[in-house]
Amino acid sequence: MVACPCSEHHDTRRMVLTGGPGAGKTAVLEIVRRSLCEHVRVLPEAASIVFGGGFPREDDPQCRRAAQLAIFHVQRQLEATGDAHNAAIVLCDRGTVDGLAYWPASAEDFWASTGTTLEAELERYDAVVHLRTPAAEQGYNRQNPVRIESAAAAAEIDARILRIWAPHPRRHLVEASGDFLDKAAATLAILRHELPECCAHHVRSALPEVGR
Domains of the chain: 13-206 (3.40.50.300)
Q: Counting every residue, how long is the chain?
A: 212
Find, among 164, 50, 30, the residue nearest to 110 by Cα.
Answer: 164
Q: What is the average per-residue pLDDT within 34-57?
A: 94
CA distance 68 to 43: 18
pLDDT, tens only, 73-94: 999 999 999 988 889 999 999 9
Indicate the burial class of 16 (C-beta count within 10 angstroms; 0-12, 13-18, 19 or more). buried
Residues 6+ apart with CB under 8 A from 19: 25, 130, 131, 132, 133, 158, 161, 174
| pLDDT of amino acid 202 | 64
Indicate the burial class of 163 (C-beta count within 10 angstroms; 0-12, 13-18, 19 or more). exposed
| pLDDT of amino acid 205 | 55
Average pLDDT, the chain: 88
| pLDDT of amino acid 154 | 87
Residues 6+ apart with CB under 8 A from 84: none
Decide: 111 and 117 in contact? Cβ < 8 Å. Answer: yes
| pLDDT of amino acid 206 | 53
- The answer, yes or no, to whether residue 207 has pLDDT greater than 60, is no
pLDDT, tens only, 157-201: 999 999 999 999 999 999 987 678 888 999 999 999 999 888 876
Share of the chain above pLDDT 70, in %: 87
Q: What is the average per-residue pLDDT within 1-27?
A: 87
